[in-house]
Chain A
Amino acid sequence: MNRQVYLDHNASTPVHPEVVDAMLPYFSERFGNPSSVHGFGRAAREGLETAREQIAHFLRVGKEEIVFTSGGTESDNMAVKGVAMARRSGHIITSKIEHHAVLRAVQNLETMGFAATYLDVDGFGMVDPDALRRAIRPDTILISIMHANSEIGTIQPARELGAIAREHNIPFHMDAVQTFGKVPIDLDAFNIDLISFSGHKIYGPKGVAGLYIKKGTKMVSVQHGGEHERRRRAGTENVASIVGFGKAIEIRARDMAEEAQRLTTLRERLWEGLSRRVPEVRLNGHPTQRVPGTCNVCFRHVESESIVLGLDLKGIGVSAGSACTSGNVEPSYVLVAMGVPLDWAMGAVRHSLGRSTTAEDIDYVIESTEPLVAKLRSAMPARA
């Protein structure tokens, strides 16, 4: 059997064994509804509030400022729509490389009469703070810019962006799904009003995420029902997963700095090996200001999916930068926004490293990629 190497941690991560242990009692013994007043409910509520404290502690904020949701997508929708709808009209600034959860939420608001500006990024995928400053209008009601993009890992200059938002007294939302628990986030220094973060990117379970809402932020609920989460997000909380999420961030707080260093070294080893052994390969994203475990590369004149399939047959899990759906293939909108030429962008492959990744894994990926790309290129027709 092939060696198994999972290099898709930006998509999802395995649940940490300590997280599983923390969650298990909440499926059978502490199964109550946390809104119930009886002992069964109180037991569940205790787990829920402990997790809220763990996350608030990590972010150094008040626990009443944390709202649990079902995923990063819901957190982003809640932030963007919740802030916009509280103001009924106005202008929103975001970037062209946001996650679809933000992009499509903003596009949806445009259909309701809101205006929007989508900021360009440079060749590294970085938003220019001066461009943000220039985009601000008297009616700008929200700035939503991600901390790091999932495909390329480029970390935005959050401090500068936040300072501009604060200077103009505009709420600043940051989608931190790819950085939460991976790199330091200083909410005060970044002047952040809202951040989205998710559980399954940091060895927690899927289906749980959170939104930090700074006290005093004016917003409305986008999901209506009961009085859960201080009337900000209706629906019975996913207690077991939330407990796991709390545990996951507690573990990350312990391991984050050391792990970031280890993954950065491995990521460099991967890029160094690929660039030395495979002709016509380029690195996408910022060379240094990047999420530690992310290494996105383009193999010129090769199609992403054929590389993903070829590596899959070697037991390696990476993700394609272009996606073929029903005979339509689109290069990554992120790479397009960065100005990556099409003959390169079509061959984008993202490697995202994590806890289980070893130097031997990286060497195996390099050794597997070199002949695969050569073989695919050898059977490739020259275009007229």
Chain B
Amino acid sequence: MRYSPTLIDHFRNPRNAGMMRHPDGVGEGEFKECMDLVRFHLRVMAGRVVEARFQAYGCGPTIAAASAATEVVAGASLLDLLELSAGEVEAAVGGLPEARRHAAEVATLGLRAAARDALSRTDTRSERDA
């Protein structure tokens, strides 16, 4: 299996690995067939992601995709994050072999879920404040 230098770099030096205290949004992507699990923690200000951190269980490409995804979403609005495509995450790791496409998908699912969670918390806060 040949991987891009970008993917290898993210696997070797994962960006933003770990958890976050009091995150504004948490979401998981899971790929049951593969047992892959990626969890994202988001810090949000004014509807935009200021920091994303990840934890991942899976093969090398899954870890790399989760790492790259945290960079892709920095500065993005939560609403845009809901529309995040696996293709964008895949591009961020310099492409994936066909048999490892799920790595980008599981990361994307996790980020969308984290964005949904952050938006629901915002909505709850808005209703409470009103």
Find out whether the CB atom of A324 lies under 8 angstroms from the CB atom of B34: yes
Find out whether the CB atom of A303 lies under 8 angstroms from the CB atom of B55: no
Find out whether the CB atom of B58 lies under 8 angstroms from the CB atom of A381: no
Among candidates A309, A327, A378, residue contacting B34 with C-beta atoms closer than 8 Å: A327
Find out whether the CB atom of A327 lies under 8 angstroms from the CB atom of B12: no
* Chain A contacts for B74, CB-based, 8 A: none
Find out whether the CB atom of A310 lies under 8 angstroms from the CB atom of B57: no
Find out whether the CB atom of A379 lies under 8 angstroms from the CB atom of B33: no
A327-B33, A329-B33 given as contacts; is B56 within 8 A of A380 (CB)?
A: yes
Band of interface residues on B? 20 to 34
Find out whether the CB atom of A313 lies under 8 angstroms from the CB atom of B56: no
Tell yes or no: A288 within 8 A of B by CB: no
Which chain B residues in 29-55 approach chain A with CB under 8 Å?
31, 33-39, 54-55
Among candidates B17, B28, B33, B57, residue contacting A303 with C-beta atoms closer than 8 Å: B57
A26 shortest CB reach to chain B, Å: 34
Which chain A residues in 293-333 approach chain B with CB under 8 Å?
301, 303, 305-306, 309-310, 313, 324-329
Tell yes or no: B18 within 8 A of A by CB: yes
A309-B11, A381-B39 given as contacts; is B102 within 8 A of A327 (CB)?
A: yes
* Chain A contacts for B23, CB-based, 8 A: none
How many angstroms from the CA of A381 to the CA of B28 in the assembled complex? 10
Find out whether the CB atom of A326 lies under 8 angstroms from the CB atom of B98: yes
* Chain B contacts for A335, CB-based, 8 A: none
Residue in chain A with minimal CB distance to B99? A326
Among candidates B31, B60, B99, B101, residue contacting A306 with C-beta atoms closer than 8 Å: B60
Find out whether the CB atom of A303 lies under 8 angstroms from the CB atom of B99: no
* Chain B contacts for A309, CB-based, 8 A: 3, 11, 59-60
How many angstroms from the CA of A313 to the CA of B39 in the assembled complex? 25
Find out whether the CB atom of B34 lies under 8 angstroms from the CB atom of A306: no
Tell yes or no: B8 within 8 A of A by CB: yes
* Chain B contacts for A152, CB-based, 8 A: none
A314 shortest CB reach to chain B, Å: 10
Tell yes or no: A383 within 8 A of B by CB: yes
Tell yes or no: A106 within 8 A of B by CB: no
- Bitwise interface map of A from 271 to 284 toward B, beta carbon under 8 Å scored 1, else 0: 00000000000000
Find out whether the CB atom of B99 lies under 8 angstroms from the CB atom of A329: no
* Chain B contacts for A380, CB-based, 8 A: 55-57
A326-B99, A329-B35, A381-B37 given as contacts; is B60 within 8 A of A305 (CB)?
A: yes
Tell yes or no: B107 within 8 A of A by CB: no
Find out whether the CB atom of B8 lies under 8 angstroms from the CB atom of A379: no
* Chain B contacts for A119, CB-based, 8 A: none
How many angstroms from the CA of A309 to the CA of B60 in the assembled complex? 6
Tell yes or no: A346 within 8 A of B by CB: yes
Other A-B pairs beyond A310-B11, A329-B33, 9, CB < 8 Å: A309-B60, A324-B34, A324-B100, A327-B31, A328-B33, A378-B18, A379-B63, A380-B56, A381-B39
For this complex, 19 residue pairs linking A to B, each with C-beta atoms less than 8 Å apart, are A305-B59, A305-B60, A306-B11, A306-B62, A309-B60, A324-B59, A324-B99, A325-B99, A326-B98, A328-B34, A329-B33, A329-B35, A378-B17, A378-B18, A379-B17, A379-B55, A380-B56, A381-B39, A383-B57
